């Protein structure tokens, strides 16, 4: 017998392909939860189940659900200046971002991460006069044809190609767009980058990277790796782009670039920068590079770029996060670290090998003995176990983001930590039984 | 092992894991259409690997989405191994 939510999902599926708002190439049916109520770190579905929300809308939700200051700011913008292209708090938002982010000498706004990454690449091509960009295995920079999935088969000329079984592979990809525009190499591998730039630096406009590879399992850069990347880009007249759509304002006010002390030429932001309620993406960068937009040599268009509701959300979010010099961050990190430690302890009790890696705020667990040193080590076997535990946690009232990320928010409390401690026990026991059955 | 034997094995396996009536399944059955969950899919992959003793590519279900397509792929794997 179907529950109320399952019945509703069947109705939705009649008109919404797969019953979901997004999909990748995964061979199973998605069963999304439909929510009716949210508050702080908790969400409630149509069947009356309560969850601790560490999914946080793919990491966008950083303030907690129902933050009054944030919601009042959005309501005020709706009441006063909803449908105009420029409004009377544009400067305050720009100045805030500039003051917090090392690379943000100038700033433009968009809506989606996918689109702003493409704008960053366009600017980089225009600035350098070169066509190709370099990206890294298991990193994710949006769902545009030229930058998603693929595998390089020739190490001497590592252009990505489609391959069977690629989670990020898609039918309908424009012919040759990956091969003609990009190179794809392993991350955390200085030698691979140095070799590629030495051989093909005259073709390469940009290197784009997640500064911490959240999409590849929340793998941190090896000490000195980002510094070396910065130096190599300078040496070969290549722009360095940090994709901070996940890490921005989640690992700290200055993003991952502030944490690791490496300043890129261009940075993309999204998700948490607008608090999670509305979409805003940001392209920030050096004045010398961004001036191509001022000179109108590079087009950056969009009906809703810089829309007041979005900028009101950015303003409120950054004001909340930066209050008292970012005092919310240590508190948030303390709570999520406590949750991470409980997960490791309870997994050991359940007999599941498990580690947590990555900066608190966008760390991930993996069901294996030791942390991944490279995203390329994130094997299907580990992914399988991670997904099983993710599914079991959902059944026990804990939502974890894909595939195993533990996204924090500033409203986390000791009650939430206690909820996790209590509910993770059953989830881990269930996962242990399934793993014993299938592995 | 013949293709029909593999199809019969797959139907029995899917019926057991996805709790589907065996008479509703044939080689045209799509894993997606019968509502195979992520855990079901992973169980199916691992049981195939164990019970048929084939070292199949773990991402096969991303590519071969029906019982018939998967059976063709498994037959290839078994023949290669012999």
Q: DSSP assignment, residue B66?
A: B
CA distance A111 to A348: 42
CB atoms within 10 A of CB B50: 11
Residue A51, H or E segment: strand A50-54
The answer to whether residues A374 and A331 touch, using CB atoms and an 8 Å cutoff, is no
pLDDT at B58 over 70: no
Shared domain for A399 and A335, answered yes or no, is yes
Shared domain for A223 and A307, answered yes or no, is yes
Residue A384's pLDDT is what? 84
Of B36, B46, B63, the CB nearest to A165: B63
Shared domain for A229 and A355, answered yes or no, is no
∠ CA A206-A112-A304, nearest 5°, is 115
Shared domain for A372 and A304, answered yes or no, is no
Residue A439's pLDDT is what? 65
Contact criterion met (CB < 8 Å) for A387 and B42: yes
Contact criterion met (CB < 8 Å) for B32 and A31: no
CA distance A140 to A15: 29
Shared domain for A356 and A251, answered yes or no, is no
If we measure between CA atoms, which residue out of A202, A243, A70, A208 comes closest to residue A134?
Answer: A208
Residue A167's pLDDT is what? 86
Shared domain for A41 and A110, answered yes or no, is no
Residue A50, burial from CB neighbour count under 10 angstroms (0-12, 13-18, 19+): middle
Contact criterion met (CB < 8 Å) for B65 and A26: no
Q: Is the ipTM of this complex over 0.95?
A: no
The answer to whether residues A219 and A375 touch, using CB atoms and an 8 Å cutoff, is yes
CA distance A162 to A325: 46
Shared domain for A155 and A44, answered yes or no, is no
Distance from CA of B33 to the nearest CA of A (A): 8
Contact criterion met (CB < 8 Å) for B41 and A381: no
Number of domains chain A contains: 2
* pLDDT tens-place values along chain A, 439 residues long: 899 999 999 999 999 998 999 988 877 777 899 999 999 999 999 999 999 999 999 999 999 999 999 999 999 999 999 999 999 999 999 999 999 999 999 999 999 999 999 999 999 999 999 999 999 999 999 999 999 999 999 989 999 999 888 889 999 999 999 999 999 999 999 999 999 999 999 999 999 999 999 999 999 999 999 999 999 999 999 999 999 999 999 999 999 999 999 999 999 999 999 999 999 999 999 999 999 999 999 999 999 999 999 999 999 999 999 999 999 999 999 999 999 999 999 999 999 999 999 999 999 999 999 999 999 999 888 988 999 999 999 999 999 998 899 999 999 999 999 999 999 999 999 999 998 877 6
| CA A31 to centroid of chain Cα atoms | 22
| Averaged pLDDT for residues B16-22 | 87
pLDDT at B70 over 70: yes
Q: Chain B residue closest to A169 (CA)?
A: B62
Q: Which two tokens stand for residue A103?
A: 């690379």
C-alpha distances (whole Å) from A108 to each of A73, A93, A321, B59 are 21, 11, 21, 40
Given CB atoms, is A391 within the 8 Å cutoff of chain B?
Answer: yes
Shared domain for A35 and A120, answered yes or no, is no
Distance from CA of A276 to the nearest CA of B (A): 27
Shared domain for A253 and A117, answered yes or no, is yes
Which residues are CB-neighbours of A146 under 8 A, at least 6 positions away? A174, A177, A178, A181, A182
Residue A87's pLDDT is what? 98
Residue A79's pLDDT is what? 98
CA distance A284 to A104: 5
Q: Which of A136 and B72 is assigned the larger pLDDT?
A: A136
Q: DSSP assignment, residue A411?
A: T
Of A26, A166, A434, the CB nearest to B39: A434
C-alpha distances (whole Å) from A408 to each of A141, A160, A257, A396 are 22, 34, 19, 18
**Quick check: pTM over 0.80?**
yes
Given CB atoms, is A388 within the 8 Å cutoff of chain B?
Answer: yes
If we measure between CA atoms, which residue out of A210, A246, A226, A187 comes closest to residue A57?
Answer: A246
Alpha helices (runs of H) in chain B, residue ranges in sequence order: 3-18, 38-51, 60-63, 67-81
Shared domain for A214 and A362, answered yes or no, is no
Q: DSSP assignment, residue A251?
A: S
CA atoms in the 13 A half-sphere facing the CB of A358: 33
* Domain carrying residue A294: 68-324
CA atoms in the 13 A half-sphere facing the CB of B41: 31
CA distance A411 to A404: 21
Distance from CA of A145 to the nearest CA of B (A): 19
If we measure between CA atoms, which residue out of A264, A222, A228, A227 comes closest to residue A244?
Answer: A264
| CATH code, A77 | 3.40.640.10
Boundary residue ending a domain (A285, A301, A324): A324
Given CB atoms, is B14 within the 8 Å cutoff of chain A?
Answer: no
pLDDT at B81 over 80: no
Q: How confident is the model at residue B35 (pLDDT cuts 50, 70, 90)?
A: confident
Distance from CA of A202 to the nearest CA of B (A): 37
Cα torsion for A234, A239, A240, A245, to the nearest 10°? 170
Alpha helices (runs of H) in A269-400, residue ranges in sequence order: 287-294, 308-322, 328-350, 380-395
Shared domain for A222 and A154, answered yes or no, is yes
Q: Which two tokens stand for residue A228?
A: 């070396």
Boundary residue ending a domain (A324, A349, A364): A324
Q: Chain A residue closest to B36 (CA)?
A: A28
Distance from CA of A422 to the nearest CA of B (A): 23
Which residues are CB-neighbours of A230 under 8 A, at least 6 positions away? A240, A262, A263, A264
Sign of the alpha-carbon dihedral angle for A341, A347, A348, A352: negative
The radius of gyration of chain B from alpha carbons, rounded to an integer in Å, stands at 12
Query: Percentage of chain B surpassing pLDDT 70?
Result: 99
| CATH code, A347 | 3.90.1150.10
Contact criterion met (CB < 8 Å) for B37 and A391: yes
Boundary residue ending a domain (A324, A342, A361): A324
Shared domain for A121 and A150, answered yes or no, is yes
């Amino acid at each position: 017998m179907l529950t109320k939510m399952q019945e509703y999902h069947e109705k939705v599926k009649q008109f919404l392909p797969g019953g979901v708002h997004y999909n990748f190439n995964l061979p199973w049916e998605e069963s999304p939860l439909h929510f009716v109520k949210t508050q702080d770190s908790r969400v409630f579905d149509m069947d009356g189940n309560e969850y601790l929300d560490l999914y946080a809308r793919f990491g966008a939700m950083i303030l907690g659900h129902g933050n009054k200051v944030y919601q009042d700011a959005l309501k005020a913008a709706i009441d006063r200046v909803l449908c105009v292209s420029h409004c009377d708090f544009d400067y305050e938002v720009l100045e805030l971002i500039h003051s917090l982010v090392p690379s943000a000498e100038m700033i433009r706004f968009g809506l989606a991460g996918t689109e702003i990454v493409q704008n960053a690449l366009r600017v980089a091509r225009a600035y350098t006069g070169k066509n190709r960009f370099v990206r890294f295995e298991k990193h994710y920079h949006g769902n545009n044809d030229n930058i998603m999935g693929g595998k390089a088969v020739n190490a001497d000329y590592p252009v990505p190609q489609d391959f069977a079984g690629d989670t990020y592979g898609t039918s309908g990809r424009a012919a040759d767009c990956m091969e003609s525009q990009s190179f794809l190499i392993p991350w955390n591998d200085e030698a691979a980058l140095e070799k590629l730039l030495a051989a093909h630096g005259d073709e390469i406009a940009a290197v784009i990277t997640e500064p911490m590879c959240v999409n590849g399992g929340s793998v941190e850069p090896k000490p000195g790796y980002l510094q070396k990347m910065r130096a190599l880009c300078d040496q070969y007249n290549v722009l360095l782009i940090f994709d901070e759509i996940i890490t921005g304002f989640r690992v700290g006010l200055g993003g991952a670039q502030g944490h690791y002390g490496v300043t890129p030429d261009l940075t993309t932001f999204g998700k948490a920068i607008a608090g999670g309620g509305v979409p805003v993406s940001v392209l920030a960068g050096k004045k010398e590079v961004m001036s191509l937009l001022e000179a109108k040599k590079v087009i950056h268009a969009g009906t809703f770029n810089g829309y007041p509701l979005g900028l009101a959300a950015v303003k409120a979010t950054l004001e909340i996060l930066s209050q008292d010099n970012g005092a919310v961050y240590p508190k948030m990190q303390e709570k999520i670290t406590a949750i991470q430690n409980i997960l490791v302890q309870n997994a050991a009790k359940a007999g599941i090998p498990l580690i947590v890696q990555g900066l608190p705020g966008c760390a991930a667990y993996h069901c294996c003995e030791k942390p991944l040193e490279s995203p390329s080590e994130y094997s299907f076997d580990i992914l399988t176990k991670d997904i099983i535990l993710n599914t079991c946690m959902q059944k026990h009232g804990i939502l974890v983001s894909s595939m195993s990320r533990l996204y924090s928010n500033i409203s986390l409390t000791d009650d939430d930590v206690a909820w996790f401690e209590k509910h993770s026990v059953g989830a881990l026991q269930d996962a242990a039984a399934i793993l014993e059955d299938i592995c | 092992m013949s293709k029909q034997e593999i199809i019969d094995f797959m139907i029995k396996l899917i019926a057991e894991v996805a709790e589907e009536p065996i008479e509703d399944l044939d080689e045209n059955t799509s894993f997606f259409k019968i509502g195979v969950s992520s855990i079901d899919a992973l169980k199916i992959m691992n049981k195939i690997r164990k019970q048929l003793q084939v070292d199949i590519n773990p991402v096969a279900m991303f590519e071969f989405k029906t019982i018939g397509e998967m059976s063709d792929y498994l037959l290839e794997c078994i023949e290669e191994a012999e």
